């Protein structure tokens, strides 16, 4: 248990958060882990400098239950959090609210897997996630076992999409088998449904474009 000295209560963070800790959250260069995660959440939601670098956090908010540090700390203490990542949209894809209803602590491997599903920094939005186009070849890469793996290049988008989905679904099955929280399992299924639909739509649009050029 971290034992830190008292700190003035009711400090404000990012214009929103209420730091009502009855101890010093910093001491001798060490930071309280509860405060570290709580302040990180507030910064991602309300710090415009972070939004400029990571625009995916624009529009994110903190639920009323977590505005006070003491409330967040009490929740976190009830969770298995050591060595884990806090994920805000593992249960509901696209969720932008940080709070006890939606957030869960998950392994770094699982967090990276889900983040890779919704990578928003793709330069080619007409291609499905995991697929790139270079020298008229469709390359495929994805997160497997916590590492980015290149799976090969193909002549058609359909073949590339099929390989990506096969690899991704296989990895998903493995990760699902490791979960003991049924809500997380259901959340992963929702992510998988969105991924499959996105790939199908991209392939259909691509094929339609090719047919229009032939015509």
Length of the chain: 215
Domain range for residue 119? 108-215
pLDDT at 16: 93
Per-residue pLDDT of the chain (215 residues; tens, 9 = 90+): 444 434 445 568 899 999 999 999 988 888 999 999 999 999 999 999 999 999 999 999 999 999 999 999 999 999 999 999 999 999 999 999 999 999 999 999 999 998 888 754 445 567 888 899 989 999 999 988 888 999 999 999 989 999 999 999 999 999 999 999 999 999 999 999 988 888 888 888 877 877 777 65
Query: Do 5 and 59 lie in a common domain?
Result: yes
DSSP 55: G
Number of separate domains in the chain = 2
pLDDT at 125: 64
What are the structure tokens assigned to 98, written together? Answer: 């940080």
104-106 and 26-27 beta bridge pairing: unpaired
Q: Which of 65, 82, 106 is the last residue of a domain?
A: 106
Mutual angle of helices 157-177 and 182-214, in 10-degree steps = 180
pLDDT at 119: 59
SS3 115: helix
Query: Do 31 and 97 lie in a common domain?
Result: yes
Q: What gap in Å lies between CA 215 and CA 198, rounded to an integer?
A: 26
Q: Which of 51, 75, 106 is the last residue of a domain?
A: 106
pLDDT at 5: 38
SS3 101: coil
Query: Do 96 and 121 lie in a common domain?
Result: no
Closest to 176 measured CA to CA, from 162, 165, 186, 190 = 186
Residue 31 forms beta bridges with which residues? 26
Query: Model-level pTM?
Result: 0.84
Q: Which of 106, 130, 158 is the last residue of a domain?
A: 106
pLDDT at 215: 59
Query: Do 64 and 165 lie in a common domain?
Result: no
């Amino acid at each position: 248990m971290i034992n830190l000295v008292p700190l003035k209560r009711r400090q404000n963070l990012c214009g929103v958060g209420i730091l009502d800790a009855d101890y010093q959250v910093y001491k001798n260069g060490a930071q309280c882990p509860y405060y570290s995660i709580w302040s990180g959440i507030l910064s991602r939601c309300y710090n415009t400098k972070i939004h400029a670098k990571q625009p995916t956090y624009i529009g994110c908010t903190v639920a009323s239950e977590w505005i006070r540090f003491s409330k967040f700390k009490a929740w976190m203490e009830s969770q298995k959090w050591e060595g884990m990542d806090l994920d805000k949209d593992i249960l509901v894809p696209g969720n932008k609210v940080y709070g006890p209803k939606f957030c869960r602590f998950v392994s770094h491997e699982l967090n990276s897997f889900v983040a890779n599903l919704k990578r928003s920094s793709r330069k080619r939005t007409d291609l499905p996630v995991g697929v790139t186009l270079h020298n008229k070849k469709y390359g495929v890469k994805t997160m497997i076992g916590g590492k980015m793996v290149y799976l090969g290049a193909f002549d058609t988008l359909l073949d590339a999409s099929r390989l990506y989905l096969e690899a991704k679904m296989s990895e998903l099955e493995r990760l699902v088998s490791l979960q003991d929280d049924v809500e997380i399992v259901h959340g992963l299924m929702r992510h998988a449904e969105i991924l499959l639909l996105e790939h199908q739509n991209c392939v259909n649009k691509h094929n339609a474009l090719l047919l229009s050029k032939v015509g």
